[in-house]
Chain A
Amino acid sequence: MPCTTPDGKPTASGRKVILAIKQGKEIPEDISAASGLPLFRVRSGLRELIQAGYVKLEGEKYTLTPKGLEEV
């Protein structure tokens, strides 16, 4: 249950993370609470979503890229 598929598309878990960020959650703890995913899954998922180009990290805050915004 990673957050992206082998071809780089968000999985159901990945979409939950993207949706939580779209709702304004910017740090892993808040994204975890909003998405219902365990904190360790959010942290590992954010790395995958950054690598796939859906999320970016600015300072300590996570935001969506244009590609991420298109997903939700």
Chain B
Amino acid sequence: MEETAVSLPRIGDPAPPFEATTTQGKIRLEDFKGSWLILFSHPGDFTPVCTTEFMAFAEIQPELSKRGVELLGLSVDGLASHIAWARNIEEKTGIKIPFPIIADLDRSVSTAYGMIHPGQSKTETVRCVFIIDPNQIIRVILYYPLSLGRNTDEILRIIDALQTADKYSVATPANWRPGEMVIVPAPTTQEEAEKRLKQGYQCIDWYLCKKKL
């Protein structure tokens, strides 16, 4: 049996370009240049966990828009299925799905992004999240199994942390939330390390100092 090795995109790589049929027309990755993009896949339309996720993504879209972030869904279902499912969600719950959904019938996008994990399913995409920055560089990749719905609050937190890190050249500690102290990058020279403890930061030691923004 012949196997083809697929190179999966990694954090820091340029996002693989694509042109895809979506519920809002043909869209290219380059159309999102200048905006943050959350590209996420789901296993299938009209399935229970995915439906709760779509409702949750739709609910955070106003918060994402405030942060300059666009959403783009994907599954290997066809366009008619996506349209019918989005209409069904709105009819049954009152929640409108405002973002485009890729109908990746030929699996070109899901293959390029490594969204099909044969150990989980040979035909469906797993629950992937690719967070792509305005320069179209992949900044975060999350994978969830078929049985586990995603946490959109965490996705918002990731966006806040990435944008804060970029804007202020800092890092964010475990469980960081906006408004909390951030981590000052660790010194890289002996001289900087000696100065660090005298700079008015909240330090545990020279390599772990926090500050307010």
User: How many Å lie between the Cα of A2 and that of B24 in the bound state?
Assistant: 5
* CB-nearest residue of chain B to A51: B26
In the complex, the answer to whether A45 meets B25 with C-beta atoms within 8 Å is: yes
* Chain A 15-46 interface mask (CB, 8 Å, partner B; 1/0): 00000000000000100000000111101110
Residues of A within 8 A of B23 (CB): 1
In the complex, the answer to whether A40 meets B31 with C-beta atoms within 8 Å is: yes
B69 nearest CB across to chain A (Å): 11
Total A-B pairs, Cβ < 8 A = 35
Residues of A within 8 A of B26 (CB): 2, 44, 47-48
* Chain B 1-26 interface mask (CB, 8 Å, partner A; 1/0): 00000000000000000000001111
* CB-nearest residue of chain B to A3: B25
User: How many Å lie between the Cα of A38 and that of B35 in the bound state?
Assistant: 10
User: How many Å lie between the Cα of A45 and that of B31 in the bound state?
Assistant: 10
User: How many Å lie between the Cα of A39 and that of B25 in the bound state?
Assistant: 14
B43 nearest CB across to chain A (Å): 25
Name the interface residues of B51-83: CB closer than 8 Å to any CB of A: 70
* Chain B 25-47 interface mask (CB, 8 Å, partner A; 1/0): 11110111011000000000000
Interface size on B, residues (CB 8 A): 12
With A43-B31, A44-B31 known as contacts, the answer to whether A38 contacts B70 (CB < 8 A) is yes
Residues of A within 8 A of B24 (CB): 1-2, 41, 44
Residues of B within 8 A of A38 (CB): 35, 70
In the complex, the answer to whether A44 meets B34 with C-beta atoms within 8 Å is: no
In the complex, the answer to whether A40 meets B25 with C-beta atoms within 8 Å is: no
In the complex, the answer to whether B25 meets A48 with C-beta atoms within 8 Å is: yes
B12 nearest CB across to chain A (Å): 23
* Chain A 45-57 interface mask (CB, 8 Å, partner B; 1/0): 1011000000000
Residues of B within 8 A of A47 (CB): 26
User: How many Å lie between the Cα of A3 and that of B31 in the bound state?
Assistant: 14
Residues of B within 8 A of A45 (CB): 25
Residues of A within 8 A of B35 (CB): 38-40
* CB-nearest residue of chain A to B28: A44
User: How many Å lie between the Cα of A44 and that of B24 in the bound state?
Assistant: 9
Residues of A within 8 A of B (CB): 1-3, 29, 38-41, 43-45, 47-48
6 A-B residue pairs with Cβ-Cβ distance under 8 Å, sorted by A, are: A1-B25, A2-B26, A3-B25, A39-B31, A39-B32, A40-B27
Residues of B within 8 A of A (CB): 23-28, 30-32, 34-35, 70
